[in-house]
Amino acid sequence: MSAPSHPRPTACLALADGSLFYGMGFGATGQTVAEVCFNTAMTGYQEVMTDPSYAGQIVTFTFPHIGNVGTNPADDESGDPVAAGMVVKWMPTEPSNWRNAQELSPWLAARGRIAIGGIDTRRLTRAIRHTGAPHAALAHDPEGNFDIEALIAAARGFAGLEGMDLAKDVTCAQSYRWNEMRWAWPDGFAPQVDAKHKVVAVDYGAKRNILRCLASAGCEVTVLPATATYDDIMAHDPDGVFLSNGPGDPAATGAYAVPMIRDVLNKTKLPVFGICLGHQMLALALGAKTIKMSHGHHGANHPVKDRDTGKVEITSMNHGFAVDAQTLPDGVLETHVSLFDGSNCGIRMADRPVWSVQHHPEASPGPQDSYYLFERFAEAMADRAVATPA
């Protein structure tokens, strides 16, 4: 008998509705269960996989050329991949990039992350868009042996992200200082030596490039765990407070984060700046509500309109929950909206330097249209220093 024209599948993605996607596995072997989302970015797959905001999610990449530049330590947004798994159309090819340090498959395997290639990612993406982000089980077995009923049952047994506080799983274990600035040719990541503002960054799953952007804007950054209290923050005598990105349900994380933020707002006049989950935490602290989105926003080409200036910015996004703009209280203004679906992308207090955005101005991966927000934060701290001299 002649050999089969197609190799036996070594990976399977089983959705809770019974849909099955067979392909070829790479990375680690085994099984994982999570929510499936899709990301439309054409670059930055390593940054996506190591973004703590993707905890509890399997990422489907709509761009087919994933793995072609390999991996390298400089592109990690956290110590290890946080996304539960990876779905791609084409199997990774041999890397062709001068920065490559390790091919994608062994990089994933060494970090315990499962991936599947060779599937119809367009079909999967359509399903996600039409019915919402599904729960799924992803299995990789080099022998191609799968218990399909057990995989579907595992997918159906996944509790989902609503009600899950995942920030506690990805936050730092203890406080630390950060002084590395944004990458610049030819020296790479230079240390910051001329800080002008002391910032406490609350880590709900902070990306390294966000911390680099704060440092590049002139901030001396001290990072505190997600459970930091008002007293913990004020012990560092900050000029401003930053609320980071992160994963999970903002209402769940808000159980301990919101009281701290309210104390900062009620007891000080410090500038406050939030991104992503930090944006949602600030909104909850101000009295608004958050909602679960159907399939969320994940990509590097999302148009956002600044309602104050009328300017449209192309932004990077990664979120499955959103602030319900209709619940914003008096004195809190909606500053940015998505031009894809009109969802909220930014708020600010009318009379104080307190604001936040849903999108990612650090742009890793993505455009840098919104980097000015870090400079605005630094300017707010400088203005406060002038108004309240020591």
In this structure, what token pair is assigned to residue 275? 């991104």
Identify whether 238 is preceded by a cis peptide bond (ω within 30 of 0).
no
Q: Is 37 an active-site residue?
A: no
Q: What is the DSSP pairing of strand 30-39 with strand 57-61?
A: parallel
The H or E element spanning position 322 is: strand 312-324
From the candidates 35, 220, 313, 362, which is the catalytic residue? 362
Distance, C-alpha 165 to centroid of its chain: 15
From the candidates 135, 276, 298, 302, which is the catalytic residue? 276
> How many Cβ atoms sit within 10 Å of the Cβ of residue 201?
26
CA-based nearest residue to 57, from 359, 304, 346, 297 = 297
Cβ atoms of residues 308 and 372 within 8 Å: no
Q: Which distant-in-sequence residues (6+ apart) come within 8 Å of 269 by Cβ? A: 352, 384, 388
In this structure, what token pair is assigned to residue 338? 């998505």
Cβ atoms of residues 87 and 116 within 8 Å: yes
CA-based nearest residue to 273, from 173, 361, 342, 383 = 361
Q: Transcribe 71-124 into DSSP letters.
A: B-GGG-SSSS--BSEEE-SS-------TT--B-HHHHHHHTT-EEEESS-HHHH
In this structure, what token pair is assigned to residue 339? 């031009």
Considering only the C-alpha atoms of the chain, give the largest distance between any 2 of them, rounded to a whole number of Å.
86
Q: How far is CA 64 from CA 85, 119, 311, in A?
A: 16, 10, 32
How far apart are the C-alpha atoms of 176 and 169, rounded to whole Å? 17
How far apart are the C-alpha atoms of 27 and 364, rounded to whole Å? 23
The H or E element spanning position 208 is: helix 208-216
In this structure, what token pair is assigned to residue 106? 């062994």
How far apart are the C-alpha atoms of 228 and 388, rounded to whole Å? 26
CA end-to-end span of the chain: 86
Q: Which residues are catalytic?
A: 276, 360, 362
